Amino acid sequence: MFGSTGGLADYRSALLASRGFATLGLAFFGYEDLPNDMSDVDLDYFEEAADWLLSHPKVQDHGIGAVGTSKAGEIVLAMATYMKQVSAAVSISSYSAISYAPLPYKDMVLPCARWMADQIVFTEDRFANVENQLEDITTEPGIHACIQVEKSHCPILFVAGEDDINIPSVFHANKAIDRMKAHGKTNYTLLKYPGTGHLIEPPYTPHCGFYFHGAFRVYVYAGGEPKGHATAQEDSWSKILGFLRKNIDRREARSKL
């Protein structure tokens, strides 16, 4: 799953499928009959998708792996926290708190940290630096938006770039890990990469230092530099594959692909 730009991007799902995984590339807003704005999204939608995938006769029924980038990365953390169907979670370049809008789930609503438009910095060429747009999650009231990842029982892999100028993703990964450590949890792994920006894609995807944000209609800085970013994409992809195989593939004889 991908982030706040909306729509459906299923190339990572296709690549995972080519490695032997049963995959579902899931859009959650801005696509066909789905809501036009991510403020209308609820977590139950993702649970329904997990249940549907697990019901397929060709899918191992012990649990799914959830992989998400940016906004979808925080949704993956929420899924790992509240859903028994999730056996492994990969959160790439994400916040450790619910952002932008509250996230309903069953009979509760997960509070959010606000996006603050006055913290967005525009350059002379009208490109946006949104690194500091999220409300402070270390103080009131933003602290209540932090996802309670310490409740998760599945392994979580955090992937973050040290030069991410879209989301301070290393900071947020460490905040989530601190919560887990404080509760005696060890089911986390952090991959952090120097010279690496926000859009950590599969290997050989060109480095993208900025991109057009379709939902907000503005160009946004992503950070990173080509060599470091390319190295991170190659290394993280192989480790994501290994992480998923280890935690969701329980076949006796595994594919060597």
Active site residues: 70, 164, 198
Terminal alpha carbon distance of the chain: 23
Residue 148 CA, chain-centre distance (Å), reads: 15
